[in-house]
Amino acid sequence: MPVEETFAGLAAYVMGLPPRLGEVRLVAVDGPSGAGKSRFALRLAKELDAPVVRTDDLLDGWDDQFTFWARLEERVLGPLRRGGTARYRRYLWHRGEFDQAPVSVEAAPVVLIEGVSAARRAIRPELSLAVYVTAPAGLRLARALVRDGDDSIAFRAYLERWRSAEDRHFVEDETAAYADLVVDGAAETGDDRFEQLWRRPPG
């Protein structure tokens, strides 16, 4: 049965977890497009005063949906693991190219990565917390269209291809089954709370 939880309570829980990416507590917020990952990650990050790295910012366009990981590892995860500063260039979707100005992320006590496949199998051993955000398919599609402001035939074709690929990925990767926390991204709980569908018991 769903349980309402506070972001403040979750933040305190995260700070009590051991760091596993070097000295960093890495929190991954994963789930399908339009589920509410960004809202959840930003709200938790605000509570933790922690930076958020969005995987969408590291993709080299639509066709780099899952193959971006080497870029994330080299420019973000690797430096943070060594206690250094991550530096990457954000992809500008409206221009189809990477920005020349780098984004810097310090090795903070907590860093969040948010986006499709953020909690993939390759990084699970180094995650302090894996969150999976879910919502009904129809709501997710409506949100995506509103968010991107594009209802063209070409955009819908890209989006449907993206959604089909992520569906296959989540089945093969068993992302939800290995998540520490599953969240209802469709729930209307206000700014301070979220609806927990499942949480892995401590230990």
CA distance 111 to 61: 24
Cα separations in angstroms, 6 against 17, 61, 114, 176, 190 = 17, 35, 19, 21, 10
For residue 33, the one-letter residue type is: S
**Bridging pattern class, strands 25-30 and 127-134:** parallel
What the block records as the tokens of 25 is: 């507590």
CATH number at residue 166: 3.40.50.300
**Number of structural domains the chain divides into:** 1
What pLDDT, on the 0 to 100 scale, is given for residue 130?
98
What pLDDT, on the 0 to 100 scale, is given for residue 158?
83
CA distance 34 to 91: 19
* Range of the structural domain that residue 104 is part of: 3-199
DSSP reduced 3-state for 201: coil
What pLDDT, on the 0 to 100 scale, is given for residue 81?
98
What pLDDT, on the 0 to 100 scale, is given for residue 1?
67
Q: Is the dihedral of CA 162, 34, 56, 176 positive or negative?
A: negative
What pLDDT, on the 0 to 100 scale, is given for residue 155?
78
Walk along the chain (203 residues) in steps of 10 and give the mean pLDDT of each run: 92 98 98 96 98 97 95 98 98 94 97 98 98 96 81 80 95 98 94 95 76
What pLDDT, on the 0 to 100 scale, is given for residue 159?
85
